[in-house]
Structure 1
Amino acid sequence: MVKGSCHCGNVAFDVEGEPGSVIECNCSHCSRKGYLLWFVPRDKLTLHTPPEALATYKFNKHFIDHLFCRNCGCAPFGFGVDPKGREMASINVRCIEEIDLSTLQRIPFDGRSR
């Protein structure tokens, strides 16, 4: 179990598991934000914050709810569905407490071409 939050702490969450590899997407949104994404089933993320503390941004095909803190603007995770229709959470591992990013395998994903 890992703990995460936005910058100001208004959005707090736990995720079951440990990231070993992350997706580094080159789409316009992910590259501008610097996301390193760890995908988990939605039920593995426990939010400790009222949903009202979050705002949602959708772009392109509107498949993913990119969630961010209304106070500091930090974007710790998003919600969507995988190709098989399962609810998923995409965790921005940069928002996980005490993580050593150098230990994670980065898998490039060409989101720019999609």
Structure 2
Amino acid sequence: MDAWAIAVTVAACLIVGGVAALVFHCSSALSSNTWVRLGFAAVPVLVAASPEEALGNLANLHWYFLYLAPWLLLKRPRTWAEGVLLTVAALLVGLTEIQAAVFVPLFLYSCGTHAFGVRG
């Protein structure tokens, strides 16, 4: 039983690390400054330092996915593989957090500007 608890904690921490890595990658759409991007990416890791929550908890992963949602919508993929990765991540976000629907207007705006070649 102890091995299962450790495995779940490690998995949850790896998922939060993946969210942070995706935020770092997607934040390149807003800033080319590495320190700013590291600051954006550090939010999911550092916000769990509060005494009420634990980082290695699967019950709270949906909040990290909600933080990831706007970043996924801001990043325009440059390659097919990157597009697949961002699409799969967006699908996971949408399937785990219903509140991600708040970002539908951002998605529609993004689709409209990308479809018509508008730079904004």
TM (normalized to structure 1)? 0.24
The one of the two structures with greater contact order (alpha-carbon pairs below 8 A, sep at least 6) is: 1
TM-score (norm 2): 0.24
Higher helix share: 2
- Give the strand-richer structure, 1 or 2: 1
